[in-house]
Structures are given as C-alpha cells and as structure tokens.
Structure 1
C-alpha cells in the first residue's frame, strides 16, 4: 500500500529538491507519526497541522493506504 505526502512551506526542505509531493510505500498500517519519523526522518513537533485527504487528523491517526497527507508548518509573520 502507498500514501502520498505533500509538503508545504519550510517542510519542503525535508523532500528532494524541486519536489513538494512524494509517494511512500507501507508494508503495514502506520500512524502519521510513524511515517513522519520512520520513513521521512521528520520530527512531528515541527508541524502545526496534518491533513489526511483534506481533513485535520492527529499524528496518531492510522493510515490504511491510498490517502494523501498534507504537512502544514507553523505560520509566521506578525
């Protein structure tokens, strides 16, 4: 099974240059947090939000495959 992961903002720095979307193959169901840490080496604390198929989800949400995950970094400005 596979999931597509889309990065926005500074989270793109964790992806190969020029890419904002990657596909990750899963051997078993994993939580969003497990994918971030084990497959991508991303500390989940650097994210403000995680969307799964356009809906806000916790980092403990279990993925079944076929989903699109969007990683949203903290917003800056002021």
Structure 2
C-alpha cells in the first residue's frame, strides 16, 4: 500500500474545520519566538476554529489552546493537511 503525501501549504490557506500538521516555520525574529512559545513547532497538529468575518485574524486550536493569528503570520507556517 502506497502512502499518499500531500504537498505543504501555508496555514493561512487551510479552511475552517481543517486540521493539519506543522512542517516548518519560515518566520524570523520576534514572530518566530512568539509562534514557538505558543507551541507552533514541527509535528504539532493545528485546527482552524473560526475565521473573522473580514478574514483576519483566524482562531486556531494548538495543543488544546485557542490562539488568534493574523494571516501574515499564518502564511509563515507550512503545514500538511490531514
């Protein structure tokens, strides 16, 4: 049985209700530090909870906690949809 592997996408492209596994962070400096502090590390499962009516920010569930991220920051998180 061959395992199908989807290509990586930015977290900002994941639709509400979608789940994905974090592959890598391309953020730098304070933004990278903040994301790491929030638990956004490789292999972590992230779920899109709710997108604001104007599209920014979006609420994500990470390690049992709900956090809000701006689209600009979510674009720097590459994930593999589950």
| TM-score normalised per structure 1 | 0.32
Normalized per residue, the structure richer in strand is 2
